[in-house]
Structure 1
Amino acid sequence: MARLLPLLVGVSMLGASLSPSLAATPSAAATELTIFGDMPVVLSAARLIQPLDDAPGAVTVIDRQMIEASGARDLAELLKYAPGFQLGRFKGATPLTTYHGLSDDQSRRMLVRVDGRSAYSPYFGSAIEWAKLSVDIDDIERIEVFRGSNSAAYGSNAFLGIVDIVTRPAADTPRFRTRITEGANGLQDQMVSVRQRLGDATARLTLGQNRSDGTDPNHDSYRNQRIDGRIDWPLSPDDTLEIHLGFVDTRADEGAAEDITDPERSTDSYTGFAQARWRRQLASGDELKLTYFHQEERYTDPGFRLPSLSSYLINVAGFSPAAVNAFFVSNGIPADAYVDGSINNRALRDDIELEHQTLLGERARLVWGGGIRNDRVRSERVFSRDDDIHIRQRRLFANLEYRLPPMWTFNAGAMIEDTSETGPRVSPRLAVNLHLNKQLTTRAAVSRGYRNTSPFERQADVRYAEARSGYVLAQTLQPSGDLRPEKVTAHEIGLRFQSTDGFSSIDLRVFNEEINQLLERKTTASNISPPPPLNSKGESPLYINGASATINGAELSGVYRWGTDAWIGGHYTYTDIDSNVIEAQISAPREAFFLFAATQLPWQWQLSGGWGYMGMMSWYDDDDWIHGYHHASARIAKRWRTGNTTAELAVGMDRIAGAVSDYRPEISRPPEGYVTLRLTY
């Protein structure tokens, strides 16, 4: 800690966290926030509309002005503005994000929500699949990043943090918009959006497409097409209805030319959802909210096909012709045996939730509610069964805010979750905020959270068998059986400074996160008899609750703004992981920082950019260390206005400091320039 404090003080002089005031980002998107005037507020920390000074934890707010100035092409890129996050690119279409490490190519321990809908998708491994979100980056009003466990408010998937995305109301968008981006490495983006009045309702429809040649030297180019719609319908002075619709289709290249069991091929996946959210304002000032959504995901991968199993066993696996013949005869395998390695996955989710916010006198507010979720998952390849796996969840939650003005704010809450797979769990939280004066607030919080294991982690049974006889030749994952939920006990203390005009802030978070029952992979005897002959020693991996980790560190962030389009800020993170598993211990960099700035120039020019450093780490693999690297970006934009039409031309460059390897040392992302044209009417 002695080494840490001078660094914290040095970074604090630069300014850091993105918590701009609402005055700096006026919008009809969340008119309920105006009850706090110019105070910076958040929606998602405790399910209550709160000033940041009263929130039960550290929150980074990324507003629309910051999103536009960033030049980001996808949502995952925006998390570089929040301290404590690591970003990588697993494949061209697959960005990876994690908070405080503990992640491989499966981002399991954080939650992403879009307008109240959970985007956590743990069915077949990867939990946060950013490419499957239909929302366009220009339709986002704000992003709230709660840094720390928030299971007390949002359940097990918010194990280490939550990213809450709030889109703009349909009426707050122009009648017509389009965006075109062209850049290096085959980069092509197109978007068109229209807004239309439908009687009392207002509708927005946005269509978009992204293309790229992927990451060098992978065969991983991709094309992502999406449709996103929103309808805001005031049913009465007290009732409103929001309808959200979305569809995403992604075609991505996979594999390598020289790998017979992972050949070059194209995969196809799509996700579609429909959501309805009804709000009622009660005479007492209370609010009722009812949300329902249905979501469907499908994934098709031709995988591989071995037309001649005997040739593969002799030429690749190293068996002698005599041994192969004897093996075929003794196990009833035909001479023309072949293997089909295709994959077809399907997942359905239905979720309904009721939430009630109420005032309890002049000093207290309460939000409480409950929900039911039903998931159905099917994959013959992943689970070695041709029927649905059903997962049912019931939840109850409550969060209470109690104020003792002028100095104290208390937050207490809990979530009770009961799933058909793991039974009931209670995730509580208690936080105390002490307002030393109107500008300076300290906070202390303690919480406990659980992450329920997924169907993939518990029941995956990935087998490859000879197509006619069904004889199992290889098993890459076997069922893990009963797994206990992962458990985190988190402690934090914080200090927040907010300028009187709300434009500038500094936030310090010092944390301790103790994680038990952490999953790790272990190789043991296969559950198949006889053991698969292509598995070494007849063993295959499974998951066990064998790991633990203690994460200690600090995050310092701040920002100084002198206008709605002008700011300078940054953040610094120090993270120390102590674990009985080496892969966990090295899964986050010891030190990382990011500095960013934007300024408005004469004649409607804007200049923005960022520069950061990510220390040495590994994505849960002690054989593939990523060396520390610097990353920098810059963007200059010019706007014109003619009548009702506004145009913006922007030129930008990512990774100015040089090629970056942010997932594996052999996967390189070179500098990338782009040009973007926006038109609005």
Structure 2
Amino acid sequence: MLSKAEEVKDEDGTWESELKTTGFYNELALLASENRVFTASKRVEAIRTAPTAVSVVSSDHLRPLSARYLPQVLRLFPGIDVLQITRTEFTVGIRGFANRGNFRPRDVLVLVDGRTVYDDFSGSVEWETLDIFPQDVGKIEVLRGAASAIHGANAARSVINIITRPPEALPPFESNTSFAGREGFRQRIAAGSSEGLYKWKVTGGYDQAEIWDRFADISLSDDQGARTWRFNTVVAKELSGGAELRLGGGTNRGELLQTTTSGILLRNDQSTDHLRLEYEHPSYSIRSYWNHRKIDSNDPETGEFVSTRTQNLYDLEAVHRVIRFGRSSFSWGGTVRFTEVKADSIGGEEGQVTAGLFLDEQYNVTDRLLLRLAGRLDYHEEAGYQFSPRAGLSYQIHPKHMLKAAVNVGYRNPTLADNFLDLAILEGPDATVFIKGNRDLKPEESIWYEAGYLGRFVPGLTLGLDLFYVVTDRFIRAAFVPPDTLTFVNSNDKVEGGGGELWGQYELTSSLRLIANYGYRKFRENGVENRATAPNQVNAGLLYSDRLTGALTVHYRDRAEWPFPSGPDFSPVQEAYYTLNLFLGYQFTKSLGGQIEAYNFTNRKHRELPALGEEIPMELIFTINYRV
């Protein structure tokens, strides 16, 4: 049951509150809705009353885009910064802030079906290690701005929740076979069934691609960028009272060429695995999961062994979604987590306990004014306690127009490497530099001030404006301690900045839609302009979905100057660039279809990450789709 402030009429005359929902994050009704989200408060709610800026990537977007990599889909949406490092490696940030230590953003929490895929050792998200393909995704919900009041650590700048298609959304059998130049090949298969009380799905496949080998100053012994197997499965049983019990797991195994957060290129023989058990009830949920990673790293130029790392994460979460009391609605939940790592770089094995409790209140001041208050108290075994509050207002100025404002606090915990690193690096025959972690580090903290507008004008046209101002301090950075040691400290550096996103979507027909957005952001670090942030970014796309599917997208990114050292063959300057991309698909029969993807089809060669990344040329991909 929804509050009156959430009951807003759509263009077809129906009320949003008529959307039948059990409250599950992956039910078909919610996945099909662009007006309802789950991630903002860990319960179903209207996007127009969510306390922070939200972007929804629905199945209507995913089908015509049909990209090879998920970041290529996310690039089209407001406030999302995607950098392609190599042919197979991407980074995804939010709202622009970047520096040498943050080109792999450490303050964006990425979830798959509510399970974290954030690497607690390095503080990054390695998109190429996911155990799903883009075709497995039913919806993506992106929170722009701090979300630590609900999600806790590392949601300092954003949460991206990737929700996969449930068994009932899959056919009995589905196959996608893709071919591209330079050994590009992908075979995906999927199957699902939903009969009686039981449901199941299996997805997986093989993926390989060579990189373009267009680095500025590196000569590789092997051009292979990715050679991996992926597998994901879920078995579910419906229980009494509308509840559901799910058991799932997945793996991504193989060889990847990857860039570390410190900018070092490595060839990793890795396995990334998980198991999860969920009990979902319309009013509450209990979720537990185990994440496992094993990485053996080698030098990509010489092939010599560099290091090994094994880590395990055990997580238990319980959430009670809605307790109603007068004009107030409450949600609360808690998490307990244990993470352990064994690595050469820390000289052995370490473990860490974290826990948190959150409470979220929605108070209907009037039928048009909604007050949102939330807070979360987290405990970190090394850093201690951290409290993250959130306060927001939503005001319905007209049945189709909303104003929103919020203040949020977000934070990023020290990584396991920040706390426990223990390395000795030979700098010469008589010189050794020691790199030591620091167990006394405090979390980085950001305070966000946000305001937004969301409105619908003529039928099918939605416009939004989201503004922000953010101050971040207690940055964790390396510091030299004489005579020969580097360690990590909470610096006195302060970064402040702001900007916003102007965005719109126009459904011209039931099959054709136009998406466009413009983002502006500017940051200053200790009073000095941060030039690594591209101030202007523009994205637009025309999407068509029928028997013929297709999309034409354009992305523009402004000039930026990264704080990397220059060399004779490369510059730290990322010049302004744009790319044009074309997706075309056709369903020949009920079972057989095909598609062509042309990335950067005007072949405007560019580097999206200067000094470290390779030059990005045009790429063509051909795919054959078959389903029963």
Q: Give the TM-score range, shorter chain.
A: 0.7 to 0.9
Residues 509 and 266 of structure 1: is their aligned pair in 2 closer, same or farther, counting only changes over 3 Å?
closer
Q: CA deviation at 1:205?
A: 0.7
Q: Find the partner of 1:51 among 46, 49, 64.
A: 46
- SS of equivalent residue, structure 1 residue 65: helix
Q: CA deviation at 1:233?
A: 1.3
Indicate the residue corresponding to 1:611 in structure 2: 554
The residue identity in structure 2 corresponding to 1:437 is H
Residues 409-437 of structure 1: per-residue CA shift (max 9 Å, x gap) = 11110111001010011000000001001
Alignment partners' CA distance in 1, 2:90 and 2:237: 35
Q: Find the partner of 1:634 among 560, 577, 582.
A: 582
Indicate the residue corresponding to 2:449 in structure 1: 491
Indicate the residue corresponding to 2:335 in structure 1: 371
Matches within 5 A, 1:165-564: 165-196=162-193, 200-218=197-215, 219=220, 220=223, 221-253=225-257, 266-281=267-282, 287-303=283-299, 342-361=306-325, 363-380=327-344, 382-383=345-346, 385-386=347-348, 388-464=349-425, 474-475=432-433, 477-499=435-457, 503-526=460-483, 538=484, 540=486, 542-564=488-510
Alignment partners' CA distance in 2, 1:562 and 1:22: 25
Could you say which structure has the higher helix fraction?
A: 1
Contact 1:364/1:403 (CA < 8 Å) preserved in 2?
A: yes
Contact 1:56/1:433 (CA < 8 Å) preserved in 2?
A: yes
Give 1 or 2 for the bigger CA radius of gyration. 1
Contact 1:376/1:391 (CA < 8 Å) preserved in 2?
A: yes
Indicate the residue corresponding to 1:113 in structure 2: 111
Is 1:594–2:589 an aligned residue pair?
A: no
- Residue-pair matches, total: 591
Indicate the residue corresponding to 1:530 in structure 2: none
Residues 32-61 of structure 1: per-residue CA shift (max 9 Å, x gap) = 685999781111112221111111011110
- SS of equivalent residue, structure 1 residue 663: coil
Residues 186 and 659 of structure 1: is their aligned pair in 2 closer, same or farther, counting only changes over 3 Å?
farther
- SS of equivalent residue, structure 1 residue 53: helix
Alignment partners' CA distance in 2, 1:418 and 1:186: 47
Question: What RMSD over aligned residues (CA atoms) do the two structures have, in Å?
Answer: 3.1
Alignment partners' CA distance in 2, 1:563 and 1:304: 50
Residues 229 and 158 of structure 1: is their aligned pair in 2 closer, same or farther, counting only changes over 3 Å?
same
Residues 67 and 254 of structure 1: is their aligned pair in 2 closer, same or farther, counting only changes over 3 Å?
closer
Gap regions ≥5 residues in structure 1:
1-20, 256-261, 282-286, 308-339, 527-537
- SS of equivalent residue, structure 1 residue 69: helix
Residues 617 and 38 of structure 1: is their aligned pair in 2 closer, same or farther, counting only changes over 3 Å?
closer
Alignment partners' CA distance in 1, 2:34 and 2:232: 31
Alignment partners' CA distance in 1, 2:505 and 2:271: 39
Residues 306 and 509 of structure 1: is their aligned pair in 2 closer, same or farther, counting only changes over 3 Å?
closer
Indicate the residue corresponding to 1:647 in structure 2: 592
Indicate the residue corresponding to 1:313 in structure 2: none
Q: Sequence identity, in percent?
A: 18
Residues 71 and 600 of structure 1: is their aligned pair in 2 closer, same or farther, counting only changes over 3 Å?
closer
Contact 1:216/1:669 (CA < 8 Å) preserved in 2?
A: no
The residue identity in structure 1 corresponding to 2:307 is I
Contact 2:19/2:29 (CA < 8 Å) preserved in 1?
A: no
Contact 2:156/2:409 (CA < 8 Å) preserved in 1?
A: no
Contact 1:22/1:40 (CA < 8 Å) preserved in 2?
A: no
Indicate the residue corresponding to 1:533 in structure 2: none
Task: With the length of structure 2 as denominator, give the TM-score of the two structures.
Answer: 0.87
Indicate the residue corresponding to 1:316 in structure 2: none
Residues 185 and 496 of structure 1: is their aligned pair in 2 closer, same or farther, counting only changes over 3 Å?
same
The residue identity in structure 1 corresponding to 2:330 is L
Residues 303-351 of structure 1: per-residue CA shift (max 9 Å, x gap) = 49999xxxxxxxxxxxxxxxxxxxxxxxxxxxxxxxx863010110000
Residues 242-269 of structure 1: per-residue CA shift (max 9 Å, x gap) = 22211001303579xxxxxx9x984301
Contact 1:33/1:49 (CA < 8 Å) preserved in 2?
A: no
Contact 1:303/1:343 (CA < 8 Å) preserved in 2?
A: no
Q: Which moved more, 1:155-164 or 1:515-524?
A: 515-524
Indicate the residue corresponding to 2:12 in structure 1: none
Contact 1:243/1:276 (CA < 8 Å) preserved in 2?
A: yes
Gap regions ≥5 residues in structure 2:
1-15, 567-571
